[in-house]
Structure formats: C-alpha cells, structure tokens
Structure 1
Amino acid sequence: MTETWAPSDAPPGARWLPQARIGFESRNARWWWLGAGGAVIVAVGVAMAVWGMFPVDLHGPTHDAGIMAPTCGLTRSVVAVFRGDISMAWRYNPAGLLVAVVAVAALARLLAGVFVRCGPVLRVRPGRIGWMVLVLALVALEIRQQGQAELLMTAGLR
C-alpha cells in the first residue's frame, strides 16, 4: 500500500477533518522501529510488574516543586496495566492505558510481519480539528495530573 494523500485529491474541508485509513503492507522493514519500541515497553513494563520499579528517580526539577507534567505517573500507570490493576493505572495517568495498548499492538504487528510477512497499517491524518482536540486533551491531562500531585509525589508502586 503506497498511496499518498495529495491536497488536490482531498474534498473541500478535508484539511479540517481527521482521516484514518487501515490497510495491509507487505514491507515490514518500514515499521520495525515501532514494533521494537513496543517490545521494549512491554518487556520493561512486565519486568517492573514482576520485580518492582527501578530505584532510579527520573523526575525533572519541577516535579520536586509540585508541578506535574502530563507524563507524570506514566511509568507507574503502564506497570499497573501489566499488573492487571486498571483502576490504579487510571489514577496514576490515563495515558498509560493508551501507551500499554499501543505497545502491545505494535509488538503484535511486528510479530505478524515477521511470521506472515504482512501486517496492518493505520494511517491517520489528524486534520486541524484533530490537532486542536489533541492540544485540548493534553491541557486537560496536565490539569488532571496537577490535581493528582499528592499521589504522584509519593513513592508509588513497589
């Protein structure tokens, strides 16, 4: 599948609307990095779910001041997903659920490409509305995470 979306092919208003297409691609080499990233996230997430969190503090200087980023709690959230505790994952960071699902899907796509030589490809053009929704979602996540500052500043999962 080697199609391109040219602006001249798009109907009026298409720049504003999100578009998604799914297809299959026989070239696995193009997407190996996504599957490799998914494999790393799954392997590290499962390892931390079994043996505990790494004893390394990766927080930035603003974290100690009580200013949470949208990514605060993401690691603990992904580990909670792999432990099967979805409600705790949601409390730490709702984006962790998305990260875990995308990582598993990317790993499955990589394995499908290795064994079947063909895998699904999802192509998304967010459009202007999609970008606006993404920015608003990040702002909402930032506000939510700031409200969870007390939880996120604790030692967390062990």
Structure 2
Amino acid sequence: MADSRSGVPLAAAAMMVALGLPPVDLHGPLHLVGIMDPFCGGTRTARYAAQGNLAEAWRYNPLSIVIVYGALVVVARAGVGLVTQRWLTMKIGSTPARRRRVITVALVLLVLLEVRQQLRADLLMEGTHTWL
C-alpha cells in the first residue's frame, strides 16, 4: 500500500498554486544573513512547477522540480495501484560498490547545487527579510 505522506508535497504545491505563497517566513537564520542552502527557493519553485512554469522553477531551484513531479508520479502510481490492485514495482540490484558510487554522485550534485544556490543569493533573498 502507498505511504500516505507521498502526496504531501504535491498537495502543498497545489495549495500554493491556488492560494499563493505562505504568509510566514520559512527561512532559517543562515538564509537571513545571506548564506543559502541547497533547498533555498524550494517553496517558490514548487509553486512554479505546479503551475507548469518550469523555466521560472528552474531559476529558483531545480531540485524542487524533481520533488514535485516525483510526488506526482508516486500519487499516480498509488492511484493506479488502488484502482487495478496491481502495483508497479521497480527493483534495482545493489552492491556495496554501486551504493558508494550513488552516494558519491549524490554528494557531488548536492555540493554543486549548494554552489549554484549561493551564486543566486540575490535572487533567492528577494522579498525576504534580512537582519543586515
């Protein structure tokens, strides 16, 4: 059976399309002093991705596009499974060497995303409150 939390990101993105961005500041203290993290811009990106505006979503944070559309795939899979009682499953063989490569690639991509986000600090801080 599908995990009930799988549709939460999708539901949040749909709510932001309908209602706009949250009225509260969701940023941590590092953001407020100009230090971005790999997830900065995620809320705005989720909204743009849910609206289908992928160019604007990519501008803020490409990772959130993957999260929103990944959630859509998970919810669609759950819907198909519930209706047909047949669950689409994918099995990937894992070895210690393959696991190390996947972790290494993921860490490198995360560092590159962090650098990208820091280079876009001005864009990501637009409309947010700063202490400086």
Q: TM-score range by the shorter chain?
A: 0.7 to 0.9
Determine which structure has more spread, i.e. the larger CA radius of gyration: 1
| Cα distance per residue 1:68-88 (max 9 Å; x no partner) | 010111111111011121111
* Aligned position for 1:100: 68
Residue aligned with 1:119, SS: coil
Q: For the residues of structure 2 that align with 1:108 and 1:49, how far apart are their CA atoms?
A: 19
Which is richer in strand? 1
Identify the match of residue 43 of structure 1 among 7, 11, 16.
11
The structural deviation recorded for 1:106 is 0.6
Which residues of structure 1 form unaligned runs of 5+? 1-27
Whole-Å separation in 2 of the counterparts to 1:84 and 1:129: 33
After TM superposition, list the pairs within 5 Å mapping 1:102-117 onto structure 2: 102-117=70-85
Q: Secondary structure at the match of 2:88?
A: strand
TM-score by length of 1: 0.73
1:90 deviation in Å?
Answer: 0.2
RMSD of Structure 2 on Structure 1 (CA)? 1.5
Aligned residues: 124
Greater RCO, 1 or 2 (C-alpha within 8 Å, sep 6+): 1
Q: CA deviation at 1:54?
A: 1.0
Q: Which consecutive segments of 4 or more residues in structure 1 shift more than 4 A? A: none
Q: C-alpha separation between the residues in 2 aligned to 1:129 and 1:147? A: 27
Q: Which has the higher helix share?
A: 2
Deviates more, 1:141-150 or 1:106-115: 106-115
Displacement of 1:38 in angstroms is 3.2
- The unaligned stretches of length 5 or more in structure 2 are none
Q: 2: CA distance between counterparts of 1:77 and 1:121?
A: 29
Q: What is the rounded CA distance, in whole Å, between the counterparts of 1:110 and 1:116 in structure 2?
A: 10
Choose which of 45, 49, 54 in structure 2 pairs with 1:86.
Answer: 54
- For 1:144, the equivalent position in structure 2 comes to 116
